[in-house]
Amino acid sequence: MRAGIVRARLWRPVPSVARRVSTLPTASRHPPSSVPLQITADVPIPPSFADKLVASSVWLRDACPCPLCVTPSSGQKTFATFDIPPAIRPHRVHIASDFSLHVTWTPDVPAAPATHTSVFPAAYLSALRLRHPADSAASFRAPRRAVDLLLWDAARIARHVRRIPYADFLHDAAALHAGLLDLEALGLLFITHVPRDAESVVRIGTRINALQETFYGRAWDVVSKPHAENVAYTAGFLGLHQDMLYVRQPPRIQLLHCLDNSCRGGASLFSDAKHAAQLLLDSPAAHVRRAVDLLAELCVRYHYAAPPFLYRNAWPVLELTPERRLMDVWWSPPFQAPNPPVDPRAAGLTTREAEERSREWLQAMRMLRELIEREDHVYETKLEAGECVVFDNRRVLHARRAFDTATGKRWLRGTYISDEDFRSRMQSVPADVVAEYGRQKGLEVLREEVCVEGGRTALEYFQGP
């Protein structure tokens, strides 16, 4: 049943909306038609909807998801944005009982048939965010986290860390989703009863997503050997660190499958770098705030120099938002390159001033190290054969105690998953699973969900305030 016909003029000027839409080609280059647009509906339309149709015709037409405009099998567009006529406007608009929006256009894309109708499901419209464009390329590139971080010390992670049987992780969706959410919230997870073969770690990794191949290979062995090209391949103590900070895209997820750990020693250590950094950020003391500033400004040089390979990069220890909120921590002393940190202010400083900043920076590094290595902040466990530890390499620092090869063997096999591939996989976790996980852990759910209520989702993109 038709609930009503509303007459509205396209592009009624609404200043607050105009500020939020980055480009309005139809509005700015072609004045709005004075001919009223008929909008029919199968559901009641709020009175406030009248005379407030403010979405951009070009960008709404560009977003048409129908099979003529987007190839169903590939998800790729069949036309280019610049194929859309600049003077395009809606010809007919209908709001269906499920709050989907049905639009015919005049003039339409030249290749479109005369019968073409754009159908926008309510949830799709909400996801488009046409009135809330990304304010930077970076904000568009990075999907939001599903849940907030659960920062931890040794006692807290001991209570929360999950151990999932290998078969469950590979074949049970609920177990996989729980593991993925743990990796996002806690950054640490163990898989148990893993078959002792070289491909098991690959099977676990590809259950999450594609593996990040590096010069170490698709998967690699961690065993002690003479003349090792990496400190990890020795039997000595290896301090808390992140892997591969000498490349531009360090791995996000690291997996280490224990095939043998029969020797004396060789325990694994883990520390939440973001927990330590947040303790610094939360301090009101002036000298600590100064330390945080230096850790965010100066960049540590990292390198890997073992012919034929040479990699180098530089990172600030702390990456902060303009509001001083923590984004990332970069910490890998074993792979630090020679020379002082890169100081963006060095050009304007005297030699004495530069040396003083360097001295202050070293003191700030010691402050953070004390928090990272504090005994009650470090979780220690000795991996057993058949266990695989999975952790967030960009957050959870890992270390290893020395071990004695005369008393047995220590053999781990590892692989990586990139940040983009992990983020992509996280988007597949169902919304209700994310919400329940957040409720159980007492964490804020950060993923933006679609809520269709009273037709608002379908309509609000076409309304002024």
CATH topology of domain 4-136+452-462: NE0471 N-terminal domain-like (3.30.2020)
| Helical H segments across 47-165, by residue range | 57-62, 122-128, 137-141, 154-160
Question: Which of 134-148, 352-366, 388-402 is least confident?
Answer: 134-148
What mean pLDDT is predicted for residues 235-260?
A: 95
pLDDT for res 347: 80
CATH topology of domain 145-447: Double-stranded beta-helix (3.60.130)
Model confidence band, residue 188 (pLDDT cutoffs 50, 70, 90): very high
**Distances in Å between the alpha carbon of 196 and those of 31, 223, 271?**
70, 15, 27
What mean pLDDT is predicted for residues 77-104?
A: 90
Q: Peptide bond preceding 226: is omega within 30 degrees of 0, i.e. cis?
A: no
Map tokens 């464009």 to a residue.
Answer: 133
Model confidence band, residue 140 (pLDDT cutoffs 50, 70, 90): low
Domain-by-domain residue ranges, the chain? 4-136+452-462, 145-447
In one letter, which amino acid is 363?
Q
Strand partners, 316: 299
Both tokens of 440, joined, read 């159980």
pLDDT for res 263: 92
155-173 pLDDT, tens digit each: 999 999 999 999 999 999 9
Model confidence band, residue 3 (pLDDT cutoffs 50, 70, 90): very low
Does residue 2 carry a pLDDT above 50? Answer: no
Strand, helix or coil for residue 343: coil
The C-alpha atoms of residue 389 and residue 173 are separated, in whole angstroms, by: 19
The C-alpha atoms of residue 277 and residue 338 are separated, in whole angstroms, by: 24
**Count of CA atoms in the C-beta half-sphere (13 A) of 187:** 24
Question: Which of 16-30, 200-214, 318-332 is least confident?
Answer: 16-30
Residue from 386, 392, 378, 381 nearest 411 by CA? 386
DSSP letter string over 256-271? EEEEEE-SEE--EEEE
Q: Express as a percent the part of the chain with pLDDT over 70.
A: 80
pLDDT for res 37: 58
Strand partners, 106: 89
The C-alpha atoms of residue 39 and residue 29 are separated, in whole angstroms, by: 24
Does residue 227 carry a pLDDT above 80? Answer: no
pLDDT for res 55: 60
**Distances in Å between the alpha carbon of 201 and those of 17, 260, 357?**
51, 14, 44
462 in Cβ contact with 54 (< 8 Å): yes
Burial (CB count <10 Å: 0-12, 13-18, 19+), residue 206: middle
209 in Cβ contact with 421 (< 8 Å): yes
Does residue 229 carry a pLDDT above 60? Answer: no
Q: Peptide bond preceding 110: is omega within 30 degrees of 0, i.e. cis?
A: no
Does residue 99 carry a pLDDT above 90? Answer: no
Does residue 423 carry a pLDDT above 50? Answer: yes
Q: Express as a percent the part of the chain with pLDDT over 90.
A: 62
